Chain A
Amino acid sequence: MKKPATRGASTSKFVLLSTSAAMLALAAAAPSHAQSNTPIKIAVIAEAQAVAGSSIPQAAQLAADEINAAGGVDGRKIEIISYDNHSSAAESVRAFQRAATEDHVNAVIASYISEVVLALEPWTGRLKTVMVTPGAASDVITQNIAKDYNNLKYTFHGYSTSTSIADATCDAAKDLLVKDLHLKTAVVMSEDAAWTTPLDAEYLKCLPQIGLKVLDHIRVSPDTTDFTPIYNKIEGEKPDVMITGISHVGVQPTVQWKQQEVPIPMFGISSQATNSSFWQDTNGAVEGILYGAFSGPGVAVTPKTLPFVAAFKKRYGNNPSYCGYTAYDEVYYIADAIKRAGSTEPDKLVDALEKTDYVGTIGRIQFKGKDSPNPHALKIGPDTITGLMLQWQDGKQVNLWPANVANGTLKFPKFVKVGAAD
């Protein structure tokens, strides 16, 4: 056990599993002794087969290994148990039930899909198991907590809500598009999913406020393979910019945008573009696409950001996706909360998590309180977490906004006609 961080995950997991099985047997025999050195178990239920989701278990494991190498939490090791949910809500619920009732985990880190997290949310209350999501965005997750706090207080929203994401996008658009490029009109194009409902509502509200008139609002089916008719329609409306909200789709709209040389810039949320492999996935078609995020390669949001990216890249060979950063932070602040609570008892853990004040890779993590309309949502703002706006340029993700952490300037491929709509 000299170098736990570099050992094969499966063997170490097997060893840990068999050790924990042995410890369970011990616990049954002598319950009074077992408590102090049993591992803290954190379940990771994620889309391990998706580019973005695959970073979740990897980043969580990295954090756990780092914490364990530093002595664990009061001597207790952290054990990550991964479940691949195949992007399915039904499989996630089964995994959650198994994690809580058979594997007896102390907390769950689950999914970047809002539909999945919404399906799991009632189970956090029924099974009294703490869950933090590293990537789902729908505001409904925290709105539900407000409606039924006593039951759903076990759910924490470890990623920004859709509304906050839309606001961050509007703030960036105000500086980059309205002030610098004098753009005046936009079409909102987003995929039809739970997370984009509040996103679009906020887009439609905040875009006119910053001076971008919304000419149309198009919701795209996530099954769409041919985006030609959609781009054709948008082009006919002659907007200066397309404001996007896409996550389940990504490669196809991007590649077809380039292939058809649609002359309108794309700006907004394109979750798949956050992953470093997106350049390869699109054969470079992503050149010039702007996407919002809370973290990015080469952007030192906090002193922890770049060391995390370097460690992740060293171990897994690629940069983490957006939910890799959050999953990594989550393991740390769950461990921190357990340490502060002095217990893994769910209600005490909830109390401790509510008092979280932890500087992670994406900023300073604090949750909104019980009385907020969105309890357990991350606090967003200059003192906690602020958004970034990045652009793919020559195979690299370059941060353009906000100016104090920018490392490049706007640059579009030739076929994009900025502000030349007639």
Chain B
Amino acid sequence: MLLWQILIDGFAISSLYALGATGFALIFGVSGVLNLSHGALMVTAVVAAWAAGNDLHLGAYAGATVGIAVGFAATIFTYFLIVRPLQETRKIREEEKEIFILTATLLWGIMIQELIAYLYTNNAKTVAPIVQGVVRIAGVRTPANEIFTAVVCWLVIAILWLLVNRTRAGKAVLAASMNPRGVTLLGVELSHVYVAVWAIYGILVGIAGVLLGMFLGVSSYSVGPLTASAFSIVVLGGLGSVSGALIAAYVVGYLETITAYLISPAYRTIPALLLLVVVMYVSPRGLLGRR
């Protein structure tokens, strides 16, 4: 019974982690950007979906759509306002740009966090779930919303996989992540690839955020922990490797769930962080890292 409970809950939370971390891994792989405003963008999507439901009185579907749209818009805005000017400026030396982008996105995330707390308070927000009620799986009373979360996550990841491996544009993205210079020699405009990747990332952030809002809820305080969890999943999986991030998401998700059930919910995140330290010692590239 407890085993089933852990399996089911762990699967739902891990799927959500996987979706959240995939986009994060993708933009690092392709453009070398570690976006530390990741958590803030997810929280923005949740708060937008919540506000659409409560202030504009939209239904669950419309609210979720608004959340995804705002998450997407905020991500694109982040790219054009924060990241791209730093990538293109000549005032900063090439080798220093990564650290500038890192700092800029971190500060941007804090600004978003404070703005959300100012406008909508720092209390937790939840998004009205699209599916309600509970289903019994192997005797475990499982919220239908939890199943919905896992199914949507995997659908989106599958679509992403098809996009990257089966379409011309997707292959250009894949190629850019392997060898950016080589891609430009083939006549692909690298900045177009960046925009495409950030657009995909924006949709992933929006969907992951809204699902998280329906499943567990977030507050402006969640900005830091969400960025940290995406970061540690991606580092554990190997920076830039999307499949590594997927595996790492399940490792972290199940490790957390097992800890919460068998030891204490208060120590939930500790074993995964210890594992991260160990992996960094043994294999600094992570599970499937290329960089």
Contacts and interface: CB of A to CB of B under 8 A. Distances in A.
A79 to B, nearest CB: 24
Interface residues on chain A, size class = 20 to 34
B143 interface: yes
A68 interface: no
Interface centre among A49, A224, A261 (most CB of B within 10 A): A49
B228 interface: no
B126 A255 contact: yes
Interface string B233-272: 0000000000000000000000001001100011010000
Interface string B52-66: 011000000000000
B129 A259 contact: yes
A252 B265 contact: no
B181 interface: no
Contact of A225 (B53, B129, B222): B222
A255 B134 CA distance: 14
B51 to A, nearest CB: 10
Nearest to B128: A283
Contacts of B145: 259
4 closest residue pairs by CB, A with B: A251-B124, A221-B266, A229-B260, A283-B128
B269 to A, nearest CB: 9
A87 interface: yes
Interface of B: 5, 9, 13, 53-54, 117-118, 121-129, 132-134, 141, 143, 145, 216-220, 222, 257, 260-261, 265-266, 268
Nearest to B5: A232
B265 A250 contact: no
B261 A49 contact: no
Interface string A247-274: 0011110011001110000000000100
A49 B260 contact: no
A237 to B, nearest CB: 14
* Dominant SS among interface residues on chain A: loop
A260 B141 contact: yes
Nearest to B143: A259
Contacts of A87: 122
B215 to A, nearest CB: 8
A360 B117 CA distance: 31
Nearest to B2: A232
A230 B216 CA distance: 14
B46 to A, nearest CB: 12
A247 to B, nearest CB: 11
